[in-house]
Amino acid sequence: MTPLIMETLPTRWEIELEFVQSLCNIQYLQYLTQNNYLKDERFIEYLKYLRYWQKPEYAKYLVYPNCLHVLLLLQNKEFRDGLVRVEVVEGLMNEMVGRWAGTNSNGNETQTNGEAEEVAEKEAGNEKKEPIEMALKVSPAELLFLVSFLANFVVGKIVHYFSPDEEVYSYYTNKKNFINQLFVKRGWGWTTLFVAVFYALVLTRSKPAGAKREPMVRVIGAAAVRYALVTLWWVLFTQWCFGLPLMDKIFVWTGGKCEVNSVKEGFEELFEMASHPFNTEAVKSDLQTFTSTVVSSYQCRRLKGSWTGGHDPSGHVFLMIHSSLYMFLEGLPFWASWTQLWNETTKVARQIRHENRWNGIGPYVHSNPHILFVALIGLWWFMLFMTNVYFHSIAEKFVGLLFGYLGIFAVYYAPRWLATETKKNRVD
């Protein structure tokens, strides 16, 4: 191969990378349609040639993998001809926005745009194969991940009931264990950090040209809105909700209170002396306690008090589920395959083990940012299992689980269901 050819190959590869990703730009598709490119046989053959971008070794360089969806649609003549119709363009635009926003509405009216049969099989809208997905707008992977937390819950209780005491009451029974103190106590901070790094890596995997800047802004904007919403739900449940956080309100509403032996200066107005069924002053002084229903669980711990009575929803269960689902759904639109991740991981592992080469870790993480989510979700899932084995009653953990699901369903799944109902109403 001559030096001249070697110099031109990267340029051609970069041009094709930019072109494939520009297919996510609806205005660019309209330009191709208006200038009859989609009726040119040579151009159509070129589109067929570009399908090599579906291979994992190439797809990993795409900042917007959903452009492959458009590339597949363009293989179909009926779809190409339909792009002259406003309703087809609007339908595709809505679908692309939904994909960028993480609210993919596969299987809706977009399939009436004339998708090729193989595209319909690749997308999760095949009513024959995936009736659950058609009905619930939840992909099989999402459903499996959602159910995994229920499995964690059940298996944790089985381990608790049938394990010997020395296994049930172990290192993880101590709330001051290293993992709990370093990671779980700062759980939302770690989640925020990993999501920020993930998007930084995803959006810098290739240099964006002018045609990609607008979609990139939309991707970041949609991600920021979702982060704000899920963070708000975390704050309301665990930190503050117009006074006590929701989990503490539930505890107080069900008869709970904070109990301390002595009140620190500045907190006197928040506590009252507890009554005792004893009359002698000596006994009263020995058993003197103070109670409050207006301090949070965090403040109660800081005052060396204890929660007594009431139903105490598990904040740990809520955090682990809320955080794991959030990362999973944020990473899903950019996911390629487990095969690609496994191959890349084993490759860099061999380099480290056999050649002692550590310089490949940086490029590996940059090309496979999902490994960050896999690692943190794995840790959260393990700590959730420890919580299910060691702490809280079944009811308290179940309430934490429900609230962990609730916020995610409101942000990610409710828009899908509402969009489906809206489209049905338009048709009717």
Query: pLDDT for 224-276, tens place per residue?
Result: 999 999 999 999 999 888 888 898 888 888 877 777 776 665 565 666 666 55
Which of 36-50, 244-258, 385-399, 402-416 tops mean pLDDT? 402-416
Res 88 pLDDT > 80: no
Please report whether residue 42 resides in a domain: yes
Q: What are the phi and psi torsion angles at 383 (to 5°)?
A: -70, -30
Higher-confidence residue of 34 and 411: namely 411
- For residue 211, which amino acid is it? A
Please report whether residue 250 resides in a domain: no
Identify whether residues 69 and 187 lie together within a single domain.
no
Identify whether residues 299 and 323 lie together within a single domain.
no
* CATH at 81: 1.10.10.1340
Does the predicted model carry a pTM greater than 0.85? no
Identify whether residues 227 and 277 lie together within a single domain.
no
Q: What is the pLDDT at residue 423? A: 55
Identify whether residues 214 and 298 lie together within a single domain.
no
Please report whether residue 424 resides in a domain: no
Per the structure, the count of domains in the chain is 3
Catalytic residue among 316, 322, 354, 366: 316
**Among 222-231, 278-287, 339-348, 361-370, where is mean pLDDT lowest?**
278-287
Higher-confidence residue of 61 and 205: namely 61
Catalytic residue list contains 354: no
Q: How does pLDDT run across 92-133, given as a tens digit for each residue?
A: 666 655 555 543 444 333 333 334 434 434 443 444 444 555
Catalytic residue list contains 392: yes
Segment holding 260, helix H or strand E: strand 257-260
Q: Which of 168, 227, 177, 166 is nearest to 383 (CA)?
A: 177
Please report whether residue 425 resides in a domain: no
Identify whether residues 288 and 373 lie together within a single domain.
no
Please report whether residue 427 resides in a domain: no
Identify whether residues 192 and 287 lie together within a single domain.
no
Please report whether residue 251 resides in a domain: no
Average pLDDT of the residues in 215-230: 89
End residue of a domain, out of 291, 308, 325: 308
* Maximum Cα interatomic distance, the chain, rounded to a whole number of Å: 102
Average pLDDT of the residues in 217-222: 86
End residue of a domain, out of 308, 323, 339: 308
Please report whether residue 233 resides in a domain: yes
pLDDT band, very low/low/confident/very high, at 87 (cuts 50, 70, 90):
low
Identify whether residues 366 and 406 lie together within a single domain.
yes
Token pair of 1 as six digits: 């191969």
Higher-confidence residue of 255 and 281: namely 255
Please report whether residue 401 resides in a domain: yes
End residue of a domain, out of 131, 152, 177: 131
Segment holding 352, helix H or strand E: helix 338-355
Domain with 232 in it: 140-244+314-419
Identify whether residues 153 and 229 lie together within a single domain.
yes
**Among 304-313, 395-404, 417-426, where is mean pLDDT lowest?**
417-426
Res 181 pLDDT > 70: yes
Q: What is the pLDDT at residue 272? A: 61
d(CA 416, CA 124): 14
Identify whether residues 322 and 300 lie together within a single domain.
no
Q: What is the pLDDT at residue 7? A: 44
Identify whether residues 356 and 402 lie together within a single domain.
yes
Query: Are 137 and 107 in contact, with CB atoms under 8 Å apart?
Result: yes
Identify whether residues 232 and 364 lie together within a single domain.
yes
Identify whether residues 126 and 215 lie together within a single domain.
no
d(CA 265, CA 263): 7
Res 322 pLDDT > 90: yes
Above pLDDT 70, what percent of the chain? 69
